[in-house]
Homo-oligomer: A and B are copies of this chain.
Amino acid sequence: MVKPSIKYLFEPKSIAVIGASENPLKIGHVIVKNIVEAGYHGKIYPVNPKGGEVLGHKIYSSITDINDEIDVATLVIPAKYAYSALEMCAAAGVKHLPIVSSGFSEIGNLAEERKLAKYAREHGMRILGPNIFGHYSAKVSLNATFGPRDIQKGNVAIITQSGALGIAMIGKTAVQNIGLSAIISVGNKSDIDEADLLEYLVEQDDTKIILIYIEGIQQGERLIKALSVATKVKPVIVIKSGRSKRGAIAAASHTGSLAGSDNIFDAIMRQCGVLRAESVDEALEWCNYLSNAPLPKGESTIIITNGGGVGVLATDACEKYSVKLYDDSQHLRDQFKAVTHGFGSTKNPIDLTGEASADEYVLALDVALQDKYIDGVLALYCETAMMTAEQLIKMIEDSYAKYIKIGKPVLFSLFGGEKTERCIKALTQKNIPVFRDVYNATSCLGVAYSFNKMRLITASETIDSAVDIVAIDKIIDGVLADNRQFMLAHEGEGLLKAAGLAGPRNGIARNIESAVKLADEIGYPVVMKIVSRDILHKSDVGGVLLDLDNQDEVVDAYQAIMHNCKAHKPDASIEGVEIVEQVKSGTEVIIGAMRDKIFGPIMMFGLGGIYVEVMKDVSFRALPLSRREVRTMIKEIRSYPLLLGVRGEVRKDIDGIVETIFKLGTIIRNCPRITDIEINPLMVYEEGQGVKTVDVRVLLSNAEKGENDA
């Protein structure tokens, strides 16, 4: 079902405030006041059964009394009246309802909230909230919040799940000179969530950067889709609290939504191309930089400095934030020799030394500006007596203007005392990117590169692999009919077969002749196991024999197994002896496909045994995946060199791993009743020699669609 557009939530021609009040202490008054005083472009209709007047606007006693089309009605009434207000709004044809009121799921009153959402859905209405501080849209100068009145217009849109933090962020952005195109409090997200808002904001011209503060996610799959689209167009910065285990508990108790494992969240955000900030300060610094910055062409960076010490610190910062330093020392010498002093350095960092004047600085910056191999510049300054504050300001201002004109990023980091402080303040006022610490400057350049890199990756096809889903569904039917939620060995084998995945070859022999024939077909060595539902611990009673290398040994083994089992349990009903290919050892990996409560189907990959259990060396991705993304996922684990071949070993069959991940991904996406498939281990042989599944574990859910409603 396509949900109705939320465009008019942001561009309404008219807004009603239901619960508007004459009393200046009431939120229903503050919101009307903010709307009026912030200069909203459309018509304002306060509503309250008591009637009266507020700030020169007549208060209507009911929304149905208003003889106009109402695009948005903000509700500021006690929770218990919300439903009937919704009915009236439906009657009046209102499509967008920010519900400021609290008293819903955040205090356990989920039923009432669901009732509202259901009604709205059935009547083509959209709800924002409940439990929000309102929303702001620069496009029509609409400040329908009970936060600060004056919001600076700009190009950053903020979506926040925390009301308190959101209101404080309005103030904080003003102090930091960051302009907003919109700020939206999403509260309990009974209907409109981050995904809906992303879909709108990504299309909206005013918005250049999107900042999202998330505490918990309900519909992860939708969010993944929306984020993946948005990050190709605009930088999306996400702050998600609850990174730590402890924080995750605090977040859950605070919002009532599941915070999920941060490992998975973090992997998926990277997959979606999101820029994840650790703190609010970091996020706002990125917003501030990106909102004025030109897009870099590539990633080759140069550091220009008048102090060796800060140059080294910046070099460290570049490694931390994955900023690549330009490396051709011959080219650098050719380019910068004329502009560096005797004791300076033309290596990257270019060290102009403390003797550098403003003019010399300009020359060096000009060289970097013109050099087509250089995509971005970190210009560092350590306070010296060689430049006055005025010279420094002018130098930076002029150079920055040239860089902006040509569209090349340059960031300044100034270190020093009062004089430097004055320069930073003056330049910040002019929206020039100057920083007090090289780490902050480098972090901003790093996210600009990250955004650009992810933007340029063309989405590659995410195709399903050839899998016989009908056959698997039939196996699942059988398992569920048997009242189990897990597959038995032969069912798992059936699933692998349907996916075209190679497990150990096997068969059941009912006499010596067929045992020998089967073993010949399978190939030696083989393992033989008794098949009997009366014998549980097969190995303990001598019902399993390994390392059988030829026909003679198979004959002997058949007799020995029969003898052992009969000696153990004379009346056991014996179905036969299973002959199984003895899988030759290889590099063991684990591949898991799971249905995550929040993000839907996800994949896990890691090297077997100790690597997963002790070293926690695994990578995660949300499905669907492209082949390229699967390869990145495999490369991401720390133990990846083992697959490339170390200590004289040859490269392993990575293609086989890719294919297996694909197959499991295809199964879990197309068989909603499966919650978990884990192949552990998958033996990986030398390149070209393929892979072999040793064991597979499949878990099912009873629920019709595999949904987990938390």
A interface with B by C-beta (< 8 Å): 107, 148, 161-165, 167-168, 170-172, 174-175, 213, 215, 239, 241-247, 250-251, 253-255, 278-281, 306-313, 315-320, 325, 343, 345, 347, 349, 351, 354, 382-384, 415-421, 436-440, 609-610, 613-615, 617, 638-639, 641-642, 646-647
Contact in complex: A279, B247 (CB < 8 Å): no
User: Nearest Cβ in chain B — how far from A649, in angstroms?
Assistant: 11
Taking a contact as CB atoms under 8 Å apart, the answer to whether B244 and A163 are in contact is no
Q: Are A610 and B416 in contact (CB under 8 A)?
A: no
**Which 5 A-B residue pairs are closest in the complex by CB-CB distance?**
A171-B417, A162-B309, A244-B319, A164-B307, A165-B309
Task: Verify B251–A416 contact, CB threshold 8 A.
Answer: no
Q: Which of B175, B246, B647 contacts A318 (CB 8 A)?
A: B246
Q: Jot down 30 A-B pairs with beta carbons below 8 A, ordered by A.
A: A148-B417, A164-B307, A164-B308, A164-B382, A164-B384, A171-B416, A171-B417, A172-B415, A174-B417, A175-B418, A241-B309, A241-B312, A242-B315, A243-B316, A244-B316, A245-B319, A246-B315, A246-B318, A246-B319, A247-B315, A253-B347, A254-B312, A278-B316, A279-B313, A279-B437, A281-B440, A610-B642, A613-B646, A614-B641, A614-B642
CB nearest neighbor in B for A419: B171
Instruction: Verify A416–B168 contact, CB threshold 8 A.
Output: yes
Query: A420: which B residues are within 8 A, CB to CB?
Result: 168, 171-172, 175
**CA A320 to CA B244, docked complex, whole Å:** 8
Is A646 a contact of B215 with CB atoms below 8 Å? no
B280 and A437 form a contact (CB under 8 A): yes
Q: Is the CB–CB distance between A647 and B613 below 8 Å?
A: yes
Instruction: Flag if B319 contacts A243 (CB, 8 Å).
Output: yes
Most B Cβ at <10 Å: residue of A161, A254, A317: A254
User: A252 to B19, alpha carbons, bound, how many Å?
Assistant: 69
| Partner among B164, B244, B316, B384 whose Cβ is within 8 Å of the Cβ of A247 | B316
Give, as a whole number of angstroms, the nearest-CB distance from A133 to chain B. Answer: 10
Prevailing SS type, chain A contact patch? helix
Q: Chain B contacts of A439 at CB under 8 A? A: 278-279, 281
Contacts of A419 in B (CB 8 A): 171
**In the complex, are the beta carbons of B307 and A171 less than 8 A apart?**
no
| List of B residues within 8 angstroms of A349 by Cβ | 250
A639 touches which of B162, B312, B384, B615 (Cβ 8 Å): B615
Q: In the assembly, what is the distance between CA of A316 and CA of B259, in Å?
A: 13
Residues of B within 8 A of A646 (CB): 610, 613-614
A638/B615 in contact, CB under 8 A: yes
Look across to chain B and name the residue whose beta carbon is closest to the beta carbon of A415: B168
Given A164-B306, A316-B241, A647-B609, residue A311 in contact with residue B614 (CB < 8 A): no
| Closest residue on chain B to residue A314 by CB atoms | B247
- Contact in complex: B168, A417 (CB < 8 Å): yes
Question: Is B436 a contact partner of A281 (Cβ separation < 8 A)?
Answer: yes
Tell me if B172 and A280 are in contact (CB < 8 A).
no
Partner of A354, one of B163, B307, B313, B382: B163
Q: Report whether B315 and A244 are in contact in the complex, using a CB–CB cutoff of 8 Å.
A: yes
Would you give the shortest CB distance from A674 to chain B, in whole angstroms? 27
Residues of B within 8 Å of A161, CB to CB, are: 309
**Interchain CB contact under 8 A, A168 and B242:** no
- Give every chain B residue within 8 A of A239 (Cβ-Cβ): 313
Contact check, A171 vs B319: say whether CB atoms are below 8 A apart. no
Is A383's CB under 8 angstroms from B171's CB?
yes
- Asked, given contacts A312-B251, A320-B244, A610-B642, whether A164 binds B615 with beta carbons under 8 Å apart, the answer is no
A215, B309: Cβ atoms closer than 8 Å: yes
Contacts of A319 in B (CB 8 A): 243-247
Q: Cα distance A416–B162 when bound, in Å?
A: 14
> Contacts A164-B382, A171-B418, A319-B246: A213 and B309 contacting too (C-beta < 8 A)?
yes
Q: How far is the CA of A307 from the CA of B172 in the complex (A)?
A: 15
Decide if A312 touches B247 in the complex (CB within 8 Å): yes
CB pair B615–A307 under 8 Å, yes or no, is no
By a CB distance below 8 angstroms, the chain B residues around A436 are 281
Please determine whether B280 and A415 come into contact, CB atoms closer than 8 angstroms.
yes
Query: In the complex, what distance in Å separates the CA atom of A165 from the CA atom of B162?
Result: 41
- Report the minimum CB–CB distance from A642 to chain B (whole Å): 6
Known: A161-B309, A250-B347. 16 other contacts (CB 8 A): A164-B306, A171-B417, A171-B419, A175-B420, A215-B308, A241-B309, A241-B312, A241-B316, A244-B319, A247-B315, A278-B316, A278-B320, A279-B313, A279-B438, A279-B439, A615-B639
A309 and B164 CA atoms in complex are apart in Å by 7
Give the distance in Å from the alpha carbon of A642 to the alpha carbon of B617 in the complex: 15
Contacts of A415 in B (CB 8 A): 165, 168, 172, 280
Complex Cα distance A280/B382, Å? 12
**CB-based nearest B residue for A102:** B343
Q: How far is the CA of A440 from the CA of B282 in the complex (A)?
A: 11
Q: Are B383 and A167 within 8 A (Cβ)?
A: yes
Pair A318/B382 contact, Cβ less than 8 Å: no
Evaluate contact between B162 and A307: CB separation under 8 angstroms: yes
Tell me how far the C-beta of A215 lies from the nearest C-beta in chain B, rounded to whole angstroms: 7
The answer to whether A437 touches B281, judged by C-beta atoms less than 8 angstroms apart, is yes
Cα-based distance from A655 to B627 in the complex (angstroms):
48
Pick from B244, B281, B308, B383: contact of A168, CB under 8 Å: B383
Instruction: Name the residue in A242, A244, A315, A615 with the highest tally of chain B Cβ atoms < 10 Å from its Cβ.
Output: A315
B contact residues around A164 at 8 Å (CB): 306-310, 354, 382, 384
Query: CB within 8 A of A172: which of B162, B312, B416, B613?
Result: B416
**Contact, CB under 8 Å: A167 / B384:** yes
* A165 & B310 in contact (Cβ 8 Å cutoff): yes
Known A343-B107, A615-B639; contact A168-B317, beta-carbon cutoff 8 A: no
Q: Which residues on B sit within 8 Å (CB–CB) of A354?
A: 163-164
A171–B417 alpha-carbon span in the complex (Å)? 3
Across-interface contacts of A241 in B (CB, < 8 A): 309, 312-313, 315-316
Q: Are A307 and B165 in contact (CB under 8 A)?
A: yes
CB distance from A583 to the nearest CB of B (A): 20
Docked complex Cα distance between A345 and B255 (Å): 12
Q: Please, how many angstroms separate the alpha-carbon atoms of A118 and B476 in the complex? A: 86
Residues of B near A165 (CB, < 8 A) are 307, 309-310, 382, 415
